[in-house]
Every structure is written in C-alpha cells, then in structure tokens.
Structure 1
C-alpha cells in the first residue's frame, strides 16, 4: 500500500529527466576516509561492496546514500567555499542533472543496478567538523537521499541515472 506521498511522487515520475553518476565513494570503516572509486558493485539488499554499511543491516532503507552535484554547490555557497569535495559529505554517490528530491520513493537505475530512494539523508553534527562551523546548517534540506538496492549490478562514473515505472520499466 502506497502512502499519499508515494502516490504523489510516483504521479510525476515520468517527468523526471535522466541524470548522470558523477562520483562514487566507499567508506571502508566507520570514521575512516572515503575511498573514491570509478566503479562499484551494488549488492541487492546489502549496499555497495567494500562500504562499511554493506551487510550491516540487510534490507535497510539506508544501504547507500546519494547527493546531487547541485546540492553540493548550494552547500559550498552556504559555507562560503568555492567548492566542497564530495568525500567531506560522506555520501556514496554524487549525481547531477536530476532533481534529487523528485527521486524520493522512486525506483531508478544506474548502470545495471536498480535502487529505490527511501528517505531524506539528514546531515549530522560531524558536518561542522568537516565543513567548519555552520556546516550542518548549510546542509539542511540539501543532505541528499538514502536508498536501498533492489537489483545487484555494476555502477560506473558516467552512467545515466534513469527513473523507472512502478512496473520496473525505464521511462
């Protein structure tokens, strides 16, 4: 049974233009630096192979985290920086050219893997340490999304991000 929000978001899914995978980062262990990758294996129900969250809570709605390049530019603006390195934000994937909020509750494909966006990915107090005082506030509303992996597959920087119909077909 879909919630009213899920019904609302799915009504407009066909209008979401494709995006592009710009960056992949894995966290090998809690509090460890991100490792930038050109390619990763998305494991159904688990997470990204090599990421510390993979398999931690099977079936969780937070198997991966993603943020948009456009949100990163906003965060840079609000923190007074020219740029913000994606690894500082500790999200797994950076995508561009797509309204990230519109992906909420949607299934989408990157490479050969299928994901389902579940919840907003709220920033934590560690963002003040990573970005300086006010980092958390700069990220409010721009923290990205959490998602689960529906179908295992390979994702590669440069892959297209495409929204799927509720029947699993690409729009």
Structure 2
C-alpha cells in the first residue's frame, strides 16, 4: 500500500451551503481552515475521510458516494483515518489531533440519497483540532506521527 496523500479538499462558507473544491487551503492553529464554516469553533476545525472508507460505503450503498457530498474537508487517497482521541495526523505542514469520530447526519440522505447516512455509519471520517497551522494542498503527504511527549 502506498502512503496516503490528500486527494481532495472541500470547504463551505455556511452550514447548508454546497462544499466547494479547493486546490489548497490555509489552516490556522487553534482555529481551522480559513473560509470554512467551522473556522474559529472550539474543537471542530477540520474533518477528514478516506477514499478507502468511501469505497466501502459505496459497496454498502450500491452506488458511488461523492466525496464533496459527505461534508468532510479533506479526503485522503487511501488508508484508515485515525479515530482515537488524541491521535495525531500530519497533513503536509499541518498537525492535527483527533477530537472524535464524525457521525454521519441526516443531511447525507438529503444530498446523496436515501440510505447514504446508514452506509456511511462508522465510515464518515474523523473530526480534528489544529495544533500546527500551515497550508494544505491536494497531493500533500499524510502520516501519523508518534504522540507528543506529555
């Protein structure tokens, strides 16, 4: 298996507004993605999912699950996104820390189609806070660094 990279980036300026694709985004420590609806919130700074999970959801769902319709910010090319609170993920220059699993919401049935919410259960990605900011670009490498010393 190859190392994962950022396959897609999506942001939305408001809760129910469509996600917009980006080639790169600026990410601020303690705040999130500049221009995204969750920028400045307490802990929900960046959401991350993987193509692997989307493909698994598509098998359950019976048709493709478009990354931009899941409402997640980053889609990784493959692999498993960390889910345990406190786990770290390095995306390009940016260091993220797991807050919690991202639960799929009913909005997925409205935007993707009936049954999408259920197909994405346990496959909907992870919510992160930003520990170190920077720029994230499509194609950036992704790794899980060792935990920070206490």
- With normalisation by structure 2, the TM-score equals 0.91
**Unpaired segments ≥5 residues, structure 1:** 1-16
Structure 1 residue 40, shift from structure 2 partner = 0.5
Are the structure 2 counterparts of residues 71 and 104 from structure 1 closer, same or farther at C-alpha, using a change threshold of 3 Å? farther
Partner of 1:53: 38
Structure 2 residue 15 is matched with structure 1 residue 30: yes
Q: Deviations over 1:127-163 (max 9, x none)?
A: 1112211111111111110000001101101011011
8 A contact 2:47–2:127 mirrored in 1: yes
- Structure number with greater Rg is 1
The runs of 5 or more residues in structure 2 that have no matched partner are none
Please identify, of 89-98 and 147-156, the stretch whose mean Cα deviation from structure 2 is larger: 89-98
User: SS in structure 1 opposite 2:5?
Assistant: strand
2:94 to 94, 113, 136: 113
Contact kept in structure 1, 2:82 and 2:89, CA below 8 Å: no
Give me the CA root mean square deviation. Answer: 1.7
Q: Does 1:131 align with 2:112?
A: yes
What corresponds to 1:157 in structure 2?
138
Compute the displacement of 1:103 (Å). Answer: 6.5
Q: Which residue, 51, 64, 75 being the options, matches 2:57?
A: 75
Higher helix share: 1
Task: Give the deviation of 1:76 after TM superposition.
Answer: 1.5
How far did 1:43 drift? 0.7
SS at match of 2:15: coil
Aligned residue pair count: 148
